[in-house]
Each structure stands twice: as C-alpha cells, then as structure tokens.
Chains A and B, each alone.
Chain A
Amino acid sequence: MIHGIGIVFLITSAITVAGALAAALLKNLIHCVLCLSITLAGLALLYLQLDAQFAGFAQILVYIGAVAILVVFAILLTRGAGIPEYRNVSSSWLVSLVIAAAIFALLTWAVIRSFPATAAGAAPGATVQSIGSALMSTYVLPLEIVAVLLTVALIGAVIVAMPESGAAGKSIEKGGAQ
C-alpha cells in the first residue's frame, strides 16, 4: 500500500525519530524507556505500512510487551529510577557524537547515490499460512536453533542474575535486613 512518500509515512517516521531522540536526551531513565516504547510502536507502524503484518504484530508483542518491561524492571532493580547522581553523558561524548553523525552521513550518501529502485510492485502475499509453511519447510533449522538459543539464554540469564545462595549470601542478607 505504498504510493510514493505519503503523509502517513512522514508522520510515523517523525514519531519514531522523535522517540529515539527523546530516549537519547532525557535524564530520567524511566522516561527514556517510555520514549523507547514510542519508537518501537512507530517502527511497528512502519512495518504495517510495508505489508509485513506478522512482523509488525510480533514487534509489538515481543518488544513493547516484553523487552520494554524487562528494561523497566532492570532499572527499578538497580535503583536508577531517580535523577542519577553522576553526570548524564560519559567523558568522551563529543567523539561518540561525531562517529554517529559520520555513520549516518555515510549511510544516507549510500542510499541517495545508488541507482533509483523501481516502483513498488504488488504487495507480496505474506499470509500467516505461507509464513507457517515456510517456517516448517525452508526455515526449520533456524527455528530449532532459535528455540535452543532462547532456552539457553533464559536459563543463563536466570543463573547470572540469581542472588548468591551460599554462606556469603546469607551474611549479606542478614546485614541488609538490619
């Protein structure tokens, strides 16, 4: 459903970029994460404009419904919810900004200088049924590998973040309770 650069695309990309900029500039960490959620929702809308329905809804379900909540929980568990007591940006911020701007300039130059693509064809029939049959036939190996990867990653994250449950852990617990 793309007919040139329309008003819907401009508004959605403005929301996305504004959310990303706000996530970069705000001091309060929770505000940064909420602006990240706005960016992720804007990106999901862009996927829907590109006729990738499944990817758009998966983006909302996984990123906004799970990853944003995960980041928020991590912020609350590390007590970063107030105004931080140290400075906002690290000591080498100017160099980092120059690098980011240079990469953006390089990518944009590459996009604009490449030969113009043809107009958008008909919408590819990416029905859920075709995705399902593709997942079970062509992409079954990546599917199983991703399943194993997710299991390993979640078990690993739980073990890494679990509190110490030995004598050292008990003494820390006792000391903290007083």
Chain B
Amino acid sequence: MSFIQSMDQIFITLQHWIAGLFPLWLQPAVMAILAVVAILGAFPAIFAVTTVLERKGLGRMQNRLGPNRVGPLGILQPVADGIKSLTKEDIVPFTADGLVHFLAPLVLVTAVFLGFAVLPIGRNMVLVNMDAGLFFFFAIGASVELSIFMAGWSSRNKYSLLGAMRAIAQMISYEVPLLLSSVVAVMITGSLSTTKIVEAQSGFTGIFPHWYVFTPWGFAGFILFVIAALAETNRSPFDLPEGESELVAGYFTEYSGFKFALFFLGEYLGMLSIAGFGITLFLGGWGAPFSFLGFIPSWLWFFLKLFAAISFFIWLRGTLPRLRQDQLMNFAWKFMLPMALLNLVVAGAWRFLGEGWQRWIICSVVLLAAYFLLGRTLMRHQKLGPRSYRYAE
C-alpha cells in the first residue's frame, strides 16, 4: 500500500494489529470493542472542543471575549467544567419520581451513543455496516423523545413539564421533514446503507465531486435537512423548550451536577451525530471536495466537514432570534412538509429525465417557483415594512 493509502487506513491497521495479539476465537469481540472504545473516546473529545468553540465563538459574535482564564486562550475550559459538574451536589426534588428521574439522562445518552454505530467516519471505518443503517439512526433518534418526556414529567415541576411538552411537540413535528428530506438521497442511491450512500457520491466529473448537495434536489434537501436537524436537537433558533429566558431551563430544570452534564453531553452529541448524517447524506461523507485533494485521509475530511458544520450551527445560534412555538409548528407543517414532498417528486423527475442540461433547468425552476409561491402565500398577512434602525442615544 502506498503511503497515502496506509495513512487513510491507519486506524483499521491499528485495530487489526491489536486484535492480532488475541486468540482467534476472541478476535471479533476485540475488534468490536476497540471500535466502540474509539467512538466513546473520540466524540466526547470533539464535544469538549465544541463547548469551547461555542463559548468563544458566541462571545466574539456578541462583541465580547469568551472564557479566557483557564489555560491559554481558555481552551482548557472543558476540564474546569467537567470538574465542576462532577463535584456539584446532586439535588433530587423530594416529590420527584426517583427511578424515572434517574433513568432519563441514561436513556438519552445511550440512545445518542447508539446512533454513532452506523456513521461512516472514513473509508471502511463504520462500526456496523447495516443494510438498513439510516433507518436504525432515525429509529434511535425517535427514542430520544421518550427520555425528554421522562425528564420533564418526573421532576414534578410545571416549568419542566411545559418545556418537555413543547420539546416533544417540536421534535415530532420536525421528524417528518427530516425523514422526508433524507429519503431523497436514499431514493437516488437505491439503498438505506450509509456506506453505499457515501460510495455513490465518491465519483468525480473533471475535478468536481458527485456530492448530492450540488444537484437541485440535493441542495433543497440539504437545506431542509439542516433546518429539521436544528429543530430535532433543540438548537437555536428552535430552542424554545430550553430557552433560559423563557422556562428557566426547560425540561432539565431540576437536574444538577453530573446528570445535567449527561443531558448537556447528550444534546451536543446528538448535534454531532445528526451533523455527521447530514454530511453522509448530502456532503459526500468522507470524500474529498476536489479530485486533486484525494491524498488527504478520508477520516480527516470527515472531521473537517464536521468542524465546518458545527461552526455553522454556532454561527446560526449567535445570529438568529428564537422562533415562537406556533411559528415553529406552522413552519414545519405548512412550509417544510410540502417542500419536502415536492423535493421527492423533483428527485424522481431528475432520475427519469436522463442526462443532460435540461434536467438541471427544469428541476431548479420547479423548486425555486414552489419556494417563492409557498413563501409568499404563507407570508401574505405579515405587514413587513422596510428595515428601520434605532440606535442608543
């Protein structure tokens, strides 16, 4: 193997070497355990880096410095946060439902970690190559709603219950556009397996890649997927269930110490995994963006794309105001669902119109016309004047 290929497969080679030290009957178990340990180590490390990035990034966007005391430029802040959350007193309300209150963060973290099992991080680097891998991810994501309800209801607190109900309504509403916008990529690939979806996007025409995001239906699908992913993980601008100015802390008001840290971890890991799936479905997974950049290892491309996606989410959080609950639900059911269904039809038309420049024009025109018509129809009662500025005197 050349040097480039050996760098690309370095983790697989390492895994096989360590498993080779064990007897033959134990080797499959050891290989699986090594892959699981790698996931359990890598993604919480990325989570720690994400928290620092978010706080510094949000701080700079709001014209202030972020945390800068712990370590040079504040990059050791997660260590301080970890020590704080481990040593804080664990307060459980007296009337809370003990067992359910204890199990809710565990169910959340378990479900989120299970979702990483079908994420292809690099060439040949997926934990389980399931035939229905994408379906597994969405099924596990649906179980997160149950843990949110358990957290909100077991606290016996009106704010928690209200936050949990809002969060569940939001997650159920946005699950339908999420699934429909990802079905587009599945339809064109012809398989639910995540490795096949990435491999279908790994060709190049000239120097440009075959990523689905560079097609009209893929672009629309990607935008719909990103919006629905933001709503599924309760990120701004859809973070009404956990908005600090609205509901104290929403469904995890009554959690402190390590359980709060587990909720925090689960939420950020959910964001990472759904960003990873967005990259797998539309942005070409571990593929390089230009054919002459293929010497960079595949796992490095995946992590660079993940870093770009996380930075985009943080940028949105610092920029957009929060949506109200009824605005949220209207947006999901009246705008995103029809657009996702139309996207399916357009992708089917793309498949059957044959190669050539006509299908690009037809599909783009249909999608843009639908977007404008639907947007104008839904906004016809809003009286939007020209933008006005008020400055402090």
Indicate whether A and B are direct neighbours in the complex (CB within 8 Å): yes
A159 nearest CB across to chain B (Å)? 17
Question: B142 contacts A60, CB within 8 Å?
Answer: yes
Question: A60 contacts B139, CB within 8 Å?
Answer: yes
A-side interface mostly = helix
Within 8 A of B (CB), among A32-68: 34, 37, 53-54, 57-58, 60-61, 64-66, 68
A-B contact pairs, 12 of them (CB 8 A): A34-B146, A58-B139, A60-B140, A61-B139, A64-B142, A64-B143, A65-B143, A69-B146, A76-B153, A76-B165, A128-B131, A129-B191
A30 proximal to B (CB < 8 A): yes
Chain B residues whose C-beta falls within 8 Å of the C-beta of A66 in the assembled complex: 142, 172
- Contact residue range for chain B? 20 to 34
A153 proximal to B (CB < 8 A): no
Chain A residues whose C-beta falls within 8 Å of the C-beta of B130 in the assembled complex: 53
| Count of chain A to chain B residue pairs whose CB atoms are closer than 8 Å in the complex | 55
**Contact mask A22-38 → B, CB, 8 Å, 1/0?**
00000000110010010
CB contact between B145 and one of A53, A58, A65, A127 (< 8 Å): that residue = A65
Query: Quick one: given A30-B153, A53-B131, A128-B131, are A61 and B100 in contact (CB under 8 Å)?
Result: no
Question: A72 contacts B135, CB within 8 Å?
Answer: no
A134 proximal to B (CB < 8 A): no
Query: Quick one: given A60-B140, A65-B143, A69-B145, are A81 and B131 in contact (CB under 8 Å)?
Result: no
B227 nearest CB across to chain A (Å)? 20
Question: A127 contacts B100, CB within 8 Å?
Answer: no
Q: Which residue of B lies closest to A125 (CB)?
A: B131
Question: B131 contacts A127, CB within 8 Å?
Answer: yes
Within 8 A of A (CB), among B24-76: none
Question: A61 contacts B131, CB within 8 Å?
Answer: no
**Contact mask B139-173 → A, CB, 8 Å, 1/0?**
11011011001100100000000000100100010
Question: A54 contacts B191, CB within 8 Å?
Answer: no
Chain A residues whose C-beta falls within 8 Å of the C-beta of B100 in the assembled complex: 30-31, 34
**Contact mask B248-289 → A, CB, 8 Å, 1/0?**
000000000000000000000000000000000000000000
